[in-house]
């Protein structure tokens, strides 16, 4: 398993898809923040008071808004499509399959996809902190009092945990599509459609529930979308995310129940990926 | 005989499609001993690649058993770690260099990283090792495929059409390499081909497969000996034929006849003909090469169908 992971890392660390879909976060952020600092230096600025420490800390974890967002999930789906379907296009499964168990090969792909993405987000988080501090120093803006290492770490931690569920579910959807369709493009399209449908359903549920109230109410709780919001609400505010569909009892799950449901989605869909790949003929 | 390295028992494969199934391989039973170079010969679409894919665990058999090193592959896919393979002329990650491709493979395999340089040297790719495989020629890919097959220092090397796309020099090199794998390194080699005259020179034993079934299995020697004959030019031809037929099988062929006799029997043939007052203009031993044997066998098959 570790060997398969090492091989996967070697394959993808400098692949074009990885540059454009994963390494882009830290690199893009770095370039952007340097640009903003330069602009700040040129423009005259009014004197401002230091922002609240909590605001300053929160801004260092801004990258974690990306992965749960629909657009962020598109990029994750695209990367997963390359990772899981690439071998079909390059015809390379036959090169590696005889040497490792199929489960280990797929597990290595899951691990690599997840760790590359989380590594990139975490690095971007650290860069946000560093560039925020450098920016304030260079531009002479005051840095608020009361920023502690523990508070900074907690902000990253909360962001990282809240992003877990949508990232894992997105990777799982796309991995299954990749193995079943054996095509990067098809996996990408199915991944995007699944993410879009899931998120659009959340927004449209109040309208749709006019036509089929019970069905929509049930789906709303069965699909993972609500539970992403609920889990991040529990993490952030310490309370459930409340949803009311017209004329139906309000939806508000406890966090362990939501966690179990999202876990079931990830394990179920990823499990199907493993089973399908194990039984697949490779031509 | 020692325990066979590779044994196929009634192996079969049906590809299921929308319009019913295709029986690509049927009741294939062969066994390959240690240190042997075994050829799997057949025309296009005979089922060679299908058989090899089953051996490598890429596709699952519809029927039958595969034993590698005495272990059933079904229960023990890890035996494949002792097998090296080259299929489809070497498919590689196009965006990685030849060397990086071997590194990926060595990591996957968990062995062989220390052999990469020596293997690249051995297959003559040292100078292009840092170039992306995308820009490799067919021959270069095939060589890289050989290096990949040997990376894990396998006991059994399986090669699907190893000389496909190689030029004359490449074919000669490949032939030497295959022989040396068996002779100098004690490896067992199982290879497929439809280029028979090439295989004739490297294999100890062959199976001829046609439309999914093994129709003949023999050592090269036996296969050729069985088809020896003497070509006779004589007059009157009809009389010669009836004289010969008393003892040997004959095949009339234009204004000559082919006598199914060995070269040792030539004096006896001559004595009989001379005794019957027949003029002999020529009697030449004829040894058909494997290609002809193969063609006649597969054509018989086709004619029977
Ligand atoms: N994936 C597949 N689905 C359906 N039929 C297939 C598949 N692969 C091969 N076949 C069929 O199985 C038969 C055997 O094909 P196979 O590729 O094993 O032949 P081969 O001996 O390797 O031929 P070649 O010399 O052309 O490589 C052919 O009739 C082929 O059309
Ligand atoms: Mg073939």
pLDDT in tens, A151-202: 999 999 999 999 999 999 999 999 999 999 999 999 999 999 999 999 999 9
Q: How far apart are the first and last CA of chain A?
A: 24
Q: Which domain holds residue B258?
A: 228-286
Q: How far is B272 from chain A (nearest CA, A)?
A: 59
CATH number at residue B42: 3.40.50.300
Unique residue bearing structure tokens 């359903």: A201
Counting the structural domains of chain A, the total is 1
Alpha carbon separation from A93 to A155, B156, B158 (Å, rounded)? 41, 20, 16
How much is the CA Rg of chain B, to the nearest whole Å?
24
Q: Is residue A45 part of a domain?
A: no
Contact, A90 vs B104, CB < 8 A? no
pLDDT mean over A101-112: 96
Q: Is residue A145 part of a domain?
A: yes
Among the partner residues A7, A10, A98, nearest to B56 by beta-carbon distance: A98
Residue B145 and residue B264 in one domain: no
Alpha carbon separation from B200 to A25, A82, B177, B207 (Å, rounded)? 59, 44, 15, 12
**At A175, is the secondary structure helix, strand, or coil?**
helix
Alpha carbon separation from A91 to B11, B89, B298 (Å, rounded)? 25, 11, 31
pLDDT-derived band of residue B201, with 50, 70 and 90 as boundaries? confident
Q: Is residue B254 part of a domain?
A: yes
Q: Is residue B295 part of a domain?
A: no
For chains A and B, what is the number of CB pairs under 8 angstroms? 75
The interface pTM score, or ipTM, of the predicted complex is 0.90
Q: Is residue A283 part of a domain?
A: no
Q: Which domain holds residue A179?
A: 2-40+50-278
Is B96 within 8 Å of A11 when comparing Cβ atoms? yes
Q: Is residue B304 part of a domain?
A: no
Q: Is residue B57 part of a domain?
A: yes
Unique residue bearing structure tokens 């129940």: A257
Q: Is residue A175 part of a domain?
A: yes
Q: Is residue B42 part of a domain?
A: yes
Say how far apart CA B150 and CA B152 lie, in whole Å.
Answer: 6
Residue B190 and residue B238 in one domain: no
Give helix then strand counts, H and E, for chain B. 10, 14
Contact, A145 vs A44, CB < 8 A? no
Q: Which residues of A30-57 are buried (b: 16+ CB within 10 A; e: fewer)?
A: beebeeebeebeeeeeeeeeeeeeeebb
What digits encode the pLDDT tens for the residues B160-173? 999 888 888 888 88
B13 Cα nearest atom in ligand 1: 12
For residue B157, what are the β-bridge partners?
Answer: B84, B189
Q: What is the pTM of this model?
A: 0.88
Q: What is the pLDDT of residue B293?
A: 66
For B22, counting Cβ atoms within 10 Å of its Cβ (0-12 exposed, 13-18 middle, 19+ buried), the class is: middle
pLDDT-derived band of residue B92, with 50, 70 and 90 as boundaries? very high
Q: Is residue B301 part of a domain?
A: no
| Contact with chain B for residue A92, Cβ under 8 A | yes
Counting the structural domains of chain B, the total is 2
Q: Is residue B144 part of a domain?
A: yes
Residue B20 and residue B37 in one domain: yes
Element (H, E) at B42: none
């Amino acid at each position: 398993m570790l060997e398969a992971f090492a091989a996967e890392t070697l394959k993808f660390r400098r692949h074009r898809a990885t540059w454009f879909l994963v390494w882009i976060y830290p690199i893009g952020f770095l370039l952007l923040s340097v640009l903003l600092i330069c602009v700040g230096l040129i423009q005259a600025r009014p004197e401002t008071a230091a922002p609240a420490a909590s605001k300053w800390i929160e801004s260092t974890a801004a990258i974690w808004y990306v992965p749960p967002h629909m657009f962020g999930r598109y990029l994750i789906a695209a990367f997963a499509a390359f990772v899981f379907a690439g071998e079909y296009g390059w015809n390379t499964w036959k090169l590696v399959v005889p040497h490792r168990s199929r489960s280990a090969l797929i597990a290595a792909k899951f691990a690599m996809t997840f760790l590359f993405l989380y590594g990139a987000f975490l690095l971007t988080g650290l860069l946000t902190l560093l560039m925020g501090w450098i920016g304030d120093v260079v531009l002479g803006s005051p840095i608020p009092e009361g920023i502690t290492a523990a508070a900074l770490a907690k902000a990253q931690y909360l962001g990282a945990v809240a992003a877990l569920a949508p990232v894992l579910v997105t990777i799982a959807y796309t991995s299954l599509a990749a193995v079943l369709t054996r095509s990067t493009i098809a996996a990408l399209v199915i991944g995007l459609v699944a993410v879009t449908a899931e998120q659009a359903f959340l927004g449209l549920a109040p309208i749709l529930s006019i036509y089929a109230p019970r069905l929509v109410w049930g789906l709303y709780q069965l699909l993972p979308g609500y539970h992403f919001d609920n889990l991040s609400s529990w993490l952030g505010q310490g309370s459930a995310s409340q949803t009311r569909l017209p004329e139906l009892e309000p939806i508000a799950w406890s966090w362990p129940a939501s966690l179990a449901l999202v876990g079931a989605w990830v394990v179920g869909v990823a499990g199907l990926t493993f089973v399908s790949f194990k039984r697949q003929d490779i031509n | 005989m020692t325990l066979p390295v590779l044994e196929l028992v009634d192996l079969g494969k049906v590809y299921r499609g929308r319009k019913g199934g295709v029986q690509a391989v049927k009741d294939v039973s062969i066994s390959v001993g240690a240190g042997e170079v075994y050829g799997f010969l057949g025309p296009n679409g005979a089922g060679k690649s299908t058989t090899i894919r089953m051996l490598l665990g890429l596709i699952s058999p519809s029927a039958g058993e595969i034993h590698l090193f005495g272990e059933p592959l079904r229960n023990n896919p890890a035996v494949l770690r002792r097998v090296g393979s080259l299929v489809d002329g070497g498919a590689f990650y196009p965006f990685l260099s030849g060397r990086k491709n071997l590194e990926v493979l060595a990591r996957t395999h968990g062995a062989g990283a220390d052999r990469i340089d020596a293997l690249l040297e051995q297959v003559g790719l040292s100078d292009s090792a840092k170039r992306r495989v995308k820009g490799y020629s067919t021959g270069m890919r095939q060589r890289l495929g050989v290096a990949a097959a040997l990376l894990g220092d396998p006991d059994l090397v399986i090669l699907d059409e190893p000389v496909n796309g190689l030029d004359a020099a490449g074919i000669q090199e490949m032939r030497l390499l295959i022989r040396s794998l068996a002779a100098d390194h004690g490896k067992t080699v199982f290879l497929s081909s439809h280029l028979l005259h090439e295989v004739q020179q490297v294999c100890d034993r062959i199976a001829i497969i046609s439309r999914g079934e093994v129709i003949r299995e023999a050592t090269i020697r036996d296969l050729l000996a069985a088809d020896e004959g003497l070509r006779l030019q004589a007059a009157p031809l009809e009389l010669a034929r009836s004289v010969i037929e008393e003892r040997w099988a004959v095949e009339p062929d234009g204004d000559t006849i082919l006598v199914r006799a060995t070269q040792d029997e030539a004096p006896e043939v001559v004595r009989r003909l001379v005794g019957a007052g027949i003029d002999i203009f020529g009697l030449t031993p004829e040894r058909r090469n494997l290609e002809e044997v193969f063609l006649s066998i597969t054509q018989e098959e086709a004619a029977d169908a």
